[in-house]
Amino acid sequence: MSDFNKCPICGKYDWLNKHTCPPKWDAIIYNRDDEENPEHAFGISAEAAALDYAEANFVRMEYPSEMEIWVRSHEEGSTWQKFEITVESVPQFTATPR
């Protein structure tokens, strides 16, 4: 029996005996990270990788309403694809018995 756990490679939660990591991408936050030393994101597309990187790095930033994420295939010689990410706050409601 497999465990439902966090993959040590891509960080996704899944049944590890059936899990396959999505493709690896180079990723940066424009005007913050170094193009020559990108970090990594995982996603089935460039857009998915950009969202993955934005979500993973959101906690390290002051609350932005927008950010520009650049991603490229992890293969040598790939070109950057640029995405504008919009961040929206979502109200959360809780009820406490009195």
pLDDT of residue 89 exceeding 80, the answer is no
Give dist(CA 71, CA 51) in Å, integer. Answer: 10
Tell me whether residue 13 is in a domain: no
**25 near 79, Cβ under 8 Å?**
no
Give dist(CA 79, CA 42) in Å, integer. Answer: 17
Bridge-based pairing of strands 39-42 and 81-86 is: unpaired
Of the pLDDT bands very low, low, confident and very high (cuts 50, 70, 90), residue 62 is low
- Which residue segment(s) compose the domain that 52 sits in? 23-86
The SS3 assignment for 39 reads strand
Count of structural domains within the chain = 1
pLDDT of residue 90: 79
Tell me whether residue 7 is in a domain: no
Tell me whether residue 40 is in a domain: yes
β-pair partners for 84: 68
pLDDT of residue 56: 86
Q: The whole model's pTM is what?
A: 0.79
Tell me whether residue 61 is in a domain: yes
Tell me whether residue 39 is in a domain: yes
pLDDT of residue 59 exceeding 80, the answer is no
Tell me whether residue 4 is in a domain: no
Of the pLDDT bands very low, low, confident and very high (cuts 50, 70, 90), residue 63 is low
